[in-house]
Amino acid sequence: MKRKIITSLLLLVLTFTLSAANQVVSSKKALAFDAASESYKVVRQESYPSQLGNVVPAVMPDRTSAALGDVNYPVTVGDVYTLTYTVSGATIELPLLVTHSGTITVPSVGTISTVGRTYMELKDAVEKSVTSYYPYSNPVLTLTKTGVFSVYVSGEVQAARYADSWGLTRLSDLISLATDMASTRSVTVRNGSGEKTYDLYKGVREGDESQNPILRNGDSVVFNRRECLVTVGGAVNRPGSYQLLSGEGVSALLNSYADGFSSNADLTSIVLRRYEDGAYRETVITADSDIKLNDSDIIYVNSLRTDLGSVSVEGALLNREGTTQISGNASASYYFRFAEGDTVRDLVEGMSEYFISASDLAGVYLIRGGENIALSFSDILYGNDEAGTMPLKSGDRFIIPFNQLVVNVIGAVNKSGVYGYVPGKTASYYITLAGGMSTDSKGQDDFTVRDKYGNKLKNSDPVPSEAVIEVERDNFVRNLQPAVAVIGIVSSVLAIVSATLAIVAPTIY
């Protein structure tokens, strides 16, 4: 039985030891180094939509409202307009349809061409024509329904098909139909006037609208096959997969497409990974290498190696696993990993989500090399303390005390003790809780209030938490009490002696 008890106690101690392990939090720089240290083997070629920034096709729940709000909306086959005007006091309202011939017919007025016109241009032309036939008729042309047409899509697509389009459909709205073998740099649009090839990368990623045209009725789209897709990852500012133009190489990829190097890039460790002869081969290259890049190549820029340090942060922190109880409050301990150049402010910002209401952020202590350094995390957090610029050192230990919500009342009161803190209350409130001043108190205003740092406060000020209120005693009353006690004892003795003599005297005489 005794052995079982001992075994159970050992298991309990072991369980507590394991659960009390410090948790780890990392600074932003440390996390960046962790991410950069991942092997280039995890770099994957992006899908076709991802290469263009995952463009979401325009979805207009109310296309008519969208068209009315766009001054450049092109008149489209199938559009329905309503013409309203007044003749001889009667209001006439006519629906007008844009035909495949590219015209709109106004009864009693004539046929008006819509080819190449925007809604606003057609509106102006129709209203002027009606006015010329019916002066003072106040004609108004309004778009009431947008037309829909089909565009034939072929080439490097999942399957050749007709795609529904309308007056504001752009070429980029069709990218979801393309496969990963499609070119982002060469997409051809054909119509009765001929054909033109567009660079969707420039149109979408660089915002050149001339390379991302609005499609028209009668257009067909061909996604041509890609030529050279290269994926770049690691310590660059914009990792991803990019399709290079003829003549572009490593320098263009790293400096233009990938937007240059991260601050921690190791320019002596750039790896080219290429599939050749049935296997992947790796070659170390330079940033200005003139090596010709092939389709599906992967380039990875390694990060400079750095040793990460760590400090401990303990005390009044968010209670998760590995905690103990102190005065009813949960205490916790964390390791904070940091990179070279990280400061106390980086630690405060990184640990901010772990602070709790009981954290005394103004009374933090840094233990460094046997020295205690007082810090105010609250001032550092709001940028008001230059101590936040202090670099972190491995082995630093930050202690965050608990901010106890109590007030201690001592001295000449009837019930000295610890009482719950109430914001805004003055000393008289807590003295009343302590049963009021005792008979040996010096006076109603004879007390001192000190904060938890020992600073003396005004008696009329609100009392902060953890303050000590001491009511002074009257020294005369305090010194008189022993004398009064002695006199009382002497009087009692004399009274006893007198009573004894009164009884014994008649017997003697």
The model's confidence at residue 129, banded by pLDDT at 50, 70 and 90, is very high
pLDDT (average), residues 428-453:
91
Average pLDDT for residues 8-35, to the nearest whole number? 57
Average pLDDT on 65-79 reads 92
Pick the closest to residue 273 from 262, 285, 286 (CA basis). Answer: 285
Which whole number is the average pLDDT over 434-458?
90
CA angle 82, 88, 94 (to 5 degrees): 15
Q: What are phi and psi of 156, to 5 degrees?
A: -80, 70
Half-sphere exposure (Cβ direction) of 236: Cα atoms closer than 13 Å? 28
- Specify which of 4-13, 36-45, 400-409 reaches the highest per-range mean pLDDT: 400-409
In single-letter form, the type of residue at position 391 comes to P
d(CA 39, CA 306): 16
Locus of tokens 């609005």: 214
List the one residue out of 180, 198, 178, 179 whose CA is nearest residue 188.
Answer: 198
Q: What is the per-residue pLDDT across 4-13, written as a single tens digit (0 to 9) for each?
A: 444 443 333 3
pLDDT digits 0-9 by tens, 149-192: 999 999 999 999 999 999 999 999 999 999 999 999 999 999 99
Q: Tell me, what's the pLDDT at 280? A: 85
Of the ranges 1-10, 187-196, 277-286, which one carries the lowest mean pLDDT score? 1-10
Section 234-247 average pLDDT: 94
Average pLDDT of the residues of the chain: 85
* Cβ 162 vs Cβ 148: under 8 Å: no
pTM given for the model:
0.56
CA-CA distance, 447 to 431, in Å (whole number)? 10
Give the pLDDT band of residue 303 (cuts 50, 70, 90). confident
Decide: 337 and 26 in contact? Cβ < 8 Å: yes
Rounded (10°) CA dihedral 350, 355, 360, 364: -30
Q: What tokens were used for 418? A: 């610890």
pLDDT digits (tens, 9 = 90+) for 344-383: 999 999 999 999 888 999 999 999 998 999 999 999 988 7
**Burial class for 379, CB neighbours closer than 10 Å (0-12, 13-18, 19+):** middle
pLDDT attached to residue 329? 55
